[in-house]
Amino acid sequence: MVEALWDGDTFHDWFVLLVTVLDDPAGEGRLATVHHRVGGPPPGTRAAEAGRALADHLGVPFHFASPDVPDDEAPRVGGRPGRASGQGHRRPRRQTSTRRHSPVSCWMALRA
């Protein structure tokens, strides 16, 4: 099965993870990360299109519990917890500054 999950952070804002969900052996693997591009469709729309196309190509089901609204607590296939439930992720907060910080400058600020 191919599943789409909302996730996010303060640097990238909301994005969607496309994962494959395996029954045997049990587990999941990350296939792609879909970010928003300026002037492009929302990441949920892009991820739904790509996930559906991949699932159709592979002949497996596709699941995206909340394609239109970012929700990292949306129900997952098989009762798995959402991204925010027990996995240490939090909903992102929008940056109030328009200045972009590099990962290195953020890391340096955290070490200070």
Mark out the alpha helices in the chain (DSSP H runs).
43-58, 103-111
Say if residue 48 is exposed, middle or buried (CB neighbours under 10 Å; 0-12, 13-18, 19+): buried
Summarised one tens digit per residue, pLDDT across range 54-79 is 999 999 999 999 999 999 999 998 76
Summarised one tens digit per residue, pLDDT across range 23-35 is 888 889 999 999 9
Stated pTM of the model = 0.69
* Domain boundaries along the sequence of the chain: 2-87
Say what the pLDDT of residue 51 is.
Answer: 96
**Residue appearing with tokens 């439930």:** 85
Show the tokens assigned to 91.
């909903």
pLDDT > 70 fraction of the chain, expressed in percent and rounded:
70
